[in-house]
Amino acid sequence: MSQAARQRSGNLPDINQRNADWYIDKLVQYLVFLSGISAIVLIVGIFVFVTIEGLGFLFEDFSFREFFLSPWWEPTDEDEPTYGILALMAGTASVTGLAMLVAIPFSLGSAIYVAEFASGKKREFLKVLIELLAAIPSVVWGFIGLSIMNPLIIDLFDVPVGLNILNAGIILGLMAAPIMTSISEDALKAVPDRYREAAEALGGTRWQVIYKTVLPAAKNGLLGGVLLGVGRGFGETMAVLMATGHAINIPGSVFDSVRALTATIAAELGETAVGSPHYQALFTIGIFLFSITFVINLSADLIVRGIRKS
């Protein structure tokens, strides 16, 4: 404020006075902005860190052919370590695939029930229950796989080991189902009621209305839900580590034990020398996983967002 202006204002309250509220407001704005961008900073930071750690391997020992096409993951071989992740990819893919076979009908069914049939208290109760299910720690699911599913599978199917694709696929399917249910339910709820009313007034039964009108109208959101489930499956570590049997294997049936990409990192990282080729190879797997889940989640998010907008 200029000297002249100050003189003119005389005894009037100084309208340019900044009091404590002004500073608090600025500070809060700043903090909120910081936490807002922290997500971006963290993502970029993690990606950079993982990339740097894996970089040495990428430039020296990395062979595209061996890495993606060899089924031999033998990083500790004294003479000739090999770093092939084909079997690990097959493990992750087969477990995730089975998990989706389990989770899709499950989550779609419960989403339809919650969104279209349940009402009032029942609906609220179910929604809370689904949220709770989603919050069960994955180690608990792994434990269920180890101590309940394992003997059950051995008994039921008369196989020597119960830690296999079947076990992990079911566990992972149940784990992914709640979030998929939530997303699908949102998608169904986002279908305007006018459509249901129109179809019903034309003579559709409840099921025809859902099947012919609501599901087609919600298909993008439902797809987004499935993609998120797939992302969850790729990224899940602990339960998969405990329930797959953790054996490197290109599976021939659901009763074969396999090993997942994530579980490999979790199990081996602690036992490697920092900076060794093995250590760096694990980080390269990390880069690979990160990229895949990033793409899957991003597309799921874009699809789901697309619906919200329209």
Partner 1 sequence: MDMNTEESIDAAVGLAIHTDALNLWYGDFQALYDVNLDIKKGRVTSLIGPSGCGKSTFLRSINRINERLGYVRIEGAIDVFGNNIYAPEVELVQVRKQVGMVFQRPNPLPASIRENILFGHKLHNRERKYSRDDEDEIVEESLRQVLLWDKVKDNLRRKATGLSLEEQQKLCIARLLPVKPSVLLMDEPCSALDPKGTAAVEELIWELRGKYSILIVTHNMAQARRASEECIFMLMGKVIEHTNTADMFVTPQHQETADYIEGRYG
The contact set with partner 1 (CB under 8 A) reads 119, 194-205, 208, 212-213, 216-217
Question: Nearest distance from residue 204's CB to partner 1, in Å?
Answer: 6
Contacts of 151 (CB under 8 A, 6+ apart): 162
Q: Tell me how crowded residue 153 is: count the other CB atoms within 10 A of its CB.
A: 21
Q: Which is nearer to partner 1, 7 or 119 (CB)?
A: 119
CA 282 to chain centre: 20
Q: Which is nearer to partner 1, 217 or 267 (CB)?
A: 217
Q: Which is nearer to partner 1, 66 or 200 (CB)?
A: 200
Calpha distance 141→240 (Å, rounded): 9
Calpha distance 59→194 (Å, rounded): 58
Question: Nearest distance from residue 27's CB to partner 1, in Å?
Answer: 47
Calpha distance 170→14 (Å, rounded): 70
Question: Nearest distance from residue 123's CB to partner 1, in Å?
Answer: 12
Q: What angle do CA 41, 42, 48 make, to 5 degrees?
A: 90
166: buried, middle or exposed (CB in 10 Å: 19+, 13-18, 0-12)? Answer: buried
Question: Nearest distance from residue 230's CB to partner 1, in Å?
Answer: 26
Q: Which is nearer to partner 1, 71 or 204 (CB)?
A: 204
Question: Nearest distance from residue 220's CB to partner 1, in Å?
Answer: 11
Q: Which is nearer to partner 1, 215 or 241 (CB)?
A: 215
Calpha distance 104→107 (Å, rounded): 5
Mind giving me the DSSP string for 126-170? HHHHHHHHHTS-HHHHHHHIIIIIHHHHHHHH--S---SHHHHHH
Q: What angle do CA 207, 209, 211 make, to 5 degrees?
A: 65
The letter for the amino acid at 182 is S
Question: Nearest distance from residue 194's CB to partner 1, in Å?
Answer: 4
Calpha distance 216→205 (Å, rounded): 16
Question: Nearest distance from residue 124's CB to partner 1, in Å?
Answer: 16
Calpha distance 89→250 (Å, rounded): 9
Q: Which is nearer to partner 1, 106 or 195 (CB)?
A: 195
Q: Which is nearer to partner 1, 22 or 117 (CB)?
A: 117
